[in-house]
Amino acid sequence: MNQITSQLSPSGLVAILRGLEPSEAEAVGECLYASGFRSLEVPLNSPEPLRSIEILRSALPADAVVGAGTVLTIDQVRDSHAAGSQIIVSPNTNVGVIEETVALGMGSFPGAATPSNAFDAIGAGARNVKIFPAEQVGITGFKAWTAVIPKEIRLLPVGGITEDNMQTWAEAGATGFGIGSSLYKAGRSLKDLKTRADKLVLAYQMINAMRESV
């Protein structure tokens, strides 16, 4: 089994639930879990995000990972941890946020837009780096990253990822993906969400199957 295969499964596909309301958290979480998602992120600029994190963590099986996104401060890290968050995702590289996340035993997913950001994150203890915005970095730029970032570090592009371009990113060295508006938007029906989730998970599984056959 090669490096990409081992790191893609099972939690490398992260559902970004920006705008999630606590009243829909359980139904949305169960819908995504049924499709095969095992990592869910509630950005803190959503309505009552900590409550949604609590609900998701309570409603979903133990093999699901629930976390907070758009985390910018150490206090937010602590509040998210208290709500049951298991991972902390940020749009930026904040060494203090990363160090506090690691100290509390949570997975750190800091955002990085340059290799320098990524190495700052790694130096602070992160073992997962969110490539953000992925559309700006681009495939060619990302390939240059993979030439210098240690192989044990998981690289997850976020921004513009769909079932149509996931394979291209994986071939360039991605070891996971954050999926936002192509999956979830506030007000989207559960039927639509399920259809989108199924397509994304299928594409993800096909990548794993192809890697395992190599």
Residues 156 and 121: their CA atoms lie apart, in Å, by: 14
Q: What is the pLDDT of residue 114?
A: 97
Q: What is the pLDDT of residue 129?
A: 97
Dihedral angle over CA of 164, 167, 172, 177, nearest 10: 80
Length of the chain: 214
**Which sequence positions are flagged as catalytic?**
41, 130
Contact present, 156 and 126 (Cβ < 8 Å): no
Please tell me what DSSP assigns to residue 72.
-
Q: What is the pLDDT of residue 214?
A: 63
Residues 106 and 87: their CA atoms lie apart, in Å, by: 5
Q: What is the pLDDT of residue 9?
A: 42
Residues 6+ apart with CB under 8 A from 16: 41, 43, 69, 89, 158, 178, 179, 180, 183, 184
Q: pLDDT tens, position by position, for the chain (214 residues)?
A: 333 333 434 457 999 999 999 999 999 999 999 999 999 999 999 999 999 999 999 999 999 999 999 999 999 999 999 999 999 999 999 999 999 999 999 999 999 999 999 999 999 999 999 999 999 999 999 999 999 999 999 999 999 999 999 999 999 999 999 999 999 999 999 999 999 999 999 999 998 888 777 6
- Which residues partner with 112 through β-bridges? 131
Single pTM value for the model? 0.93
Residues 68 and 40: their CA atoms lie apart, in Å, by: 8
